[in-house]
Amino acid sequence: MLISSENYDQLKPMYPLLVQQFVDDYNLMHGVALDIGAGPGWLGMELAKITHMKIVFLDLSQDALDTSRRNFEELNVDNDVEYIKADVHELPLEDDYADFIMSRGSIWFWSQPQKGLKEIERVLKPGGVAIVGGGLGRYLPESMRARLQGSIKQRLKERMETRPNPAEFKAMVEKARLNNYRILTESEGGGRWVEIRK
Ligand SMILES: C[S@@+](CC[C@H](N)C(=O)[O-])C[C@H]1O[C@@H](n2cnc3c(N)ncnc32)[C@H](O)[C@@H]1O
């Protein structure tokens, strides 16, 4: 999986908007937030800036975690933080661990998405919510959305990667047999998310 800092530079204005959407939708302020497939950590960092949540960065890649640690340390916030190198298919976390779980742009790389989703449901606290998938969020201005979607499409084409269409995404989520979930789509050809509650 190739993630260049150039890609992130272009996407950077999206992260605070997406996280503000999560905070508004799920009334986030306290408790434990788990960022799965955190990459360089932009989601967790934005959440730390505007809440008192403990941020747990989790990724398969030690490089990604090292980067998220460096980025987070530069933020100068006082939120509790933890870095966990782990695979979503086998989370080294107790049941009912996190109040909020977010995972953006990672599920496309999981070998067994249904197993990862089931693990997320397991470690989610009763009353909590998880949002897993990919996209740019509702708060992005249309001008920026068109620009970013264009370059994302181009990048996927260059890397010969595809993303599931809405029907494929629905089928993938159904396989997980989650107890309480709904699928959210942003726009035609745009984001797809599954929101899991417990
Ligand atoms: C495209 S990046 C997304 C990073 C970040 N969430 C964002 O939106 O900017 C995908 C991340 O998922 C991680 N990842 C892929 N498969 C994983 C797995 N099975 N368990 C945990 N992390 C995984 C990769 O190491 C990578 O950092």
What does pTM read for this prediction? Answer: 0.95
Atom of ligand 1 nearest to the CA of 103: 6
Widest Cα–Cα separation across the chain = 43
Q: What is the pLDDT of residue 130?
A: 98
Ligand 1-lining residues (CB < 6 angstroms): 1, 3, 37-39, 42-43, 59-61, 64, 87-89, 104-106, 109-110
- Domain ranges (residues) in the chain: 5-197
pLDDT tens digits for range 113-158 = 999 999 999 999 999 999 999 999 999 988 888 888 888 888 878 8
Name the residue of 3, 45, 58, 106 to mutate for ligand 1: max ligand atoms within 8 A of Cβ.
Answer: 106
Sheet containing 98-104, strands listed edge to edge, beginning at the edge strand earlier in sequence: 81-85, 54-59, 32-36, 98-104, 124-134, 192-197, 181-185
Task: Evaluate if residue 189 carries a pLDDT over 70.
Answer: no
Closest CA relative to residue 37, chosen from 87, 97, 71 = 87
Q: What is the pLDDT of residue 173?
A: 97
Helix, strand or coil, per DSSP, at residue 138 = coil
State in words which class domain 5-197 has.
alpha beta
The secondary structure element, H or E, covering residue 184 is: strand 181-185
pLDDT tens digits for range 11-32 = 899 999 999 999 999 999 999 9
Atom of ligand 1 nearest to the CA of 11: 9
Neighbouring C-beta atoms of residue 53, cutoff 10 Å: 23
